[in-house]
């Protein structure tokens, strides 16, 4: 079980019991945490406060910081083996001072007549070196466009990359009309120059907005997490997990309070019934699913797989808001951390050629503190089994790298494409996704 250390954990010397890890600590009372060096640390499990306290000496003894990971495995009742993964920190270096520009020599006309012109060379004082961020900003702005247009462009690009949850939560601001910059016109003679700059027309800002209809959000959430979406009545949506009698369940959602007055809501026998509201709304006596939390769950489902089994405990707990979605964020972060560790090992193996010996101690030394020995051994054993077959186990903790990583990834890509062509007809691969049909009972 993975646990990511937060800043509050370091300050209080504790760890939180969340829905995904509380099953490992069934009873309150004292317990023993054994670290990698075999040192025992006495902690206290408090099921009422949902925390494990007494970890201050454990954190300080292993020099743990924010975002470091603890791998907790139950060894015996009240005794846990704890391995840690310390994230590598980048080395920050002081910025180098910019060289002082040399003085510039210019030709200055002192006096001029139709036949004689007096010219003198003089050195102009060097301009002070601008700061690095200001110079980087000047490179991105064209010299013919004012700085105000560049700032508007940066704000427009930043708005395009906002998440749907943040876009829905922020209030819309009325666009402020900005005056068009006036460009001074210079004339070398009585006729105007044909290459005079003109003010560029302001571009219309189009920012994609999050889906406003609750049905669209629930349909996308059901498609990403494996639920079957049903519409028993107007404004009611049922998420059904077809996982058999042991793991199957259903959840009924109401898009608004008016949908809760229908007989289908009163007669429902679902495991949970929730009203969809905004985060600021808190109806009394009702369990709710906020639209902002649903947007966060959709974003998490795009990053890592979420199944109905992973979410069942959250439906049973009651309301799901942004606070509940924060614990799901830690679950998704654990999935992404495991994927990143696997990629880290592959990139290290890519530095070796085919038919070379891989030594586990040397590979662990090359990887540093980002990957511990237990995780490294598990990943190497996975790479030695089908469909990878990239390593052959040898005695004394060594492996034979049968092929380089580049050819391994190419073979896996061809293998996955061949299996996909056999399991999914080509017509379904080329067809566009079909939206669910609403059938009202």
* Residue 182 predicted with pLDDT over 90: no
Residue 120, judged by CB atoms within 10 A of its CB (0-12, 13-18, 19+), counts as exposed
* Residue 345 predicted with pLDDT over 60: yes
Give the per-residue pLDDT at 86.
80
Domain 2-85 classified CATH 3.40.640.10? no
Q: Give percent of the chain above pLDDT 70.
A: 69
Q: For 360-411, how does the pLDDT look when each residue is reduced to its tens digit (9 = 90+)?
A: 888 888 888 778 888 898 999 999 999 999 999 999 889 999 999 999 999 9
Give the per-residue pLDDT at 127.
56
37 vs 401, higher pLDDT: 401
Contact 119, 109 (CB under 8 A): yes
* Residue 429 predicted with pLDDT over 80: no
Spans of all domains in the chain: 2-85, 214-334, 350-426
Question: Residue 409 is encoded by which pair of tokens?
Answer: 């990834």
Give the per-residue pLDDT at 68.
86
Give the per-residue pLDDT at 200.
43
Rounded to 5°, angle at Cα 176 from 171 and 182:
155
**pLDDT (average), residues 417-441:** 63
| CATH number, domain 350-426, options 1.10.260, 1.20.1340, 1.10.10, 1.20.120 | 1.10.10
Helix, strand or coil, per DSSP, at residue 228 = strand
* Residue where the block lists tokens 């380089």: 404
Asked which of 135-149, 282-296, 339-353 is least confident by mean pLDDT, the reply is: 135-149
* Residue 358 predicted with pLDDT over 50: yes
* Residue 314 predicted with pLDDT over 80: yes
Instruction: State the sign of the Cα–Cα–Cα–Cα dihedral 114, 118, 121, 123.
Output: negative
Contact 240, 250 (CB under 8 A): yes
Question: Residue 33 is encoded by which pair of tokens?
Answer: 């945490």
Q: How far is CA 233 from the centre of its chain?
A: 36
Contact 209, 220 (CB under 8 A): no
Asked which of 22-31, 193-202, 369-378 is least confident by mean pLDDT, the reply is: 193-202
Asked which of 165-174, 230-239, 360-369, 404-413 is least confident by mean pLDDT, the reply is: 165-174
Give the chain's mean pLDDT: 77
Three-class SS of 316-377: HHCCECHHHHHHHHHHHHHHHHHHHHHHHHHHHHCCCCCCEEEEHHHHHHHHHHHCCHHHHH
């Amino acid at each position: 079980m993975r646990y990511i250390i937060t800043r509050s954990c370091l300050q209080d010397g504790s760890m939180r019991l969340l829905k995904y890890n509380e099953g490992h600590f069934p009873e309150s009372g004292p317990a023993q945490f054994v670290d990698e060096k075999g040192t025992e640390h006495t902690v206290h499990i408090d099921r009422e406060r949902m925390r494990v306290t007494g970890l201050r000496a454990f954190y300080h003894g292993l020099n743990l910081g924010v975002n470091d990971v603890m791998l907790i495995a139950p060894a015996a009742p009240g005794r846990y083996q704890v391995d840690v993964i310390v994230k590598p920190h980048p080395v920050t270096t002081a910025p180098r001072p910019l060289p002082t520009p040399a003085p510039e020599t210019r030709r200055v006309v002192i006096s001029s007549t139709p036949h004689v012109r007096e010219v003198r060379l003089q050195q102009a004082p060097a301009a002070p070196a601008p700061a690095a961020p200001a110079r980087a900003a000047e490179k991105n702005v064209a010299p013919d466009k004012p700085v105000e247009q560049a700032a508007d462009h940066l704000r427009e690009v930043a708005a395009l990359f906002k998440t749907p949850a943040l876009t829905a939560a922020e209030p819309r601001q009325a666009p402020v009309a900005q005056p068009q910059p006036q460009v001074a016109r210079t004339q070398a003679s009585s006729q105007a120059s044909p290459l005079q700059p003109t003010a560029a027309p302001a571009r219309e800002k189009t920012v994609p907005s999050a889906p406003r209809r609750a049905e669209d959000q629930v349909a996308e959430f059901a498609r990403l997490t494996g639920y079957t979406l049903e519409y028993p009545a107007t404004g009611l949506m049922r998420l059904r997990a077809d996982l058999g009698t042991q793991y199957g369940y259903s959840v009924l959602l109401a898009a608004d309070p008016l949908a809760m007055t229908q007989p289908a809501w009163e007669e429902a026998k679902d495991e949970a019934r929730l009203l969809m509201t905004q985060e600021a709304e808190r109806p009394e006596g009702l369990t709710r699913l906020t639209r902002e939390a649903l947007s966060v769950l959709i974003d998490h489902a795009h990053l890592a797989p979420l199944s109905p089994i992973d979410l069942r405990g959250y439906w049973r707990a009651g309301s799901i808001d942004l606070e509940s979605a924060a614990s799901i964020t830690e679950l998704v972060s654990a999935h992404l951390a495991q994927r990143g560790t696997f990629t880290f090992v592959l990139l290290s193996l890519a530095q070796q050629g085919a038919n070379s010996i891989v030594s586990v101690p040397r590979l662990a030394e090359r990887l540093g503190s980002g990957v511990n020995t237990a995780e490294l051994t598990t990943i190497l054993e996975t790479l030695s089994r089908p469909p990878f077959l990239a390593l052959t186990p040898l005695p004394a903790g060594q492996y034979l790298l049968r092929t380089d990583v580049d050819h391994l990834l190419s073979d896996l890509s061809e293998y996955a494409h061949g299996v996909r062509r056999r399991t999914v007809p080509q017509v379904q691969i080329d067809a566009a996704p079909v939206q669910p049909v609403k059938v009202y009972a």
